[in-house]
Amino acid sequence: MRQPKQAEPKKFYAVRRGLKPGIYTSWGACESNTKSFKGAVYKRFSTRKEAESFIGEAIGALAPGLLPNQPAGGPSTAASASQEAKEALAEVDDDGEFTSLDDEACLSALASASAETGSDMVSVSIFTDGSCLGNGKVSARAGVGVWFGQNDERNIAERLPGKVQTNNRAELTAVIRAIESADKHYSTGPPVRLVIYSDSQYMRNGLTKWIGGWQKRQWKTSDGKDVANKDLWVRLLDLQKGYRGEIKLVYVPAHTGIPGNEGADALANRGAAMPPVPGNLAT
């Protein structure tokens, strides 16, 4: 007999700044991640979508068989989400310390083209970042950072493999390594929703504006040139097709005091200082 789907939680606690930013469904879990953290920023919501909007701007949800070519909503949807995010940010805890963001950086949620994979799915927050010292130069050194949590053994700090050392390749590789690591860690048990945070405008534009056209033109740009970093974009799409849960990418502005983002940045910088690694990302 088919088991009935568990009811959607009635409350969602979004922790934007805390020991481990993310979305929790119990006050106890939220409190344990904010009580001892100076300047914690968190808020309770009645829906997961509102909680995600509070934390960051959704780049798109990747689920098996679905590509995030375009945001599902129009301008009015984004404007509404932006206003909701501003109101949410204005209602942080009295003990919190928060500087309001401007309109461009405000955490407005784009309507994501996602497939429903079950409301009872556990969510895991992962922050990623890429670093490139001397970006654009022959002597450039790039690193990859993946942050699961403070002192988490799953954290990754690696040198970007291959001869081409650029910030964009590092940013893409960081997301790829996050999915690879999580896929291995959560290979058994119930499917897990990955909420991956990135401050890469390149990633954001690629998934929301460019990738649909690239695919239609057989991985050519609008002016007929080969798409840069095609190997990494293809690898990313292959990973999402093979992942048995849901993958959601969320854009967060860089260097705004979000612990996970700062942690991933530090890991990426550490990776950039490591010795060169031959070859490209393993497929």
Q: Could you give the residue numbers annotated as active site? A: 129-130, 171, 199, 255, 265
Q: What is the DSSP letter of 3?
A: P
At 140, which amino acid appears? A
The rounded distance, in Å, linking the Cα atoms of 20 and 121 is: 19
Contacts of 47 by beta carbon, 8 Å cutoff, 6+ apart: 12
Burial class (CB in 10 A: 0-12, 13-18, 19+), 262: middle
Contacts of 181 by beta carbon, 8 Å cutoff, 6+ apart: 146, 154, 156
Tokens 């700062």 identify what position?
262
Q: Please answer whether residues 203 and 68 qualify as being in contact, where contact means their C-beta atoms are separated by less than 8 angstroms.
A: no
Closest CA to 182 of 93, 249, 97: 249
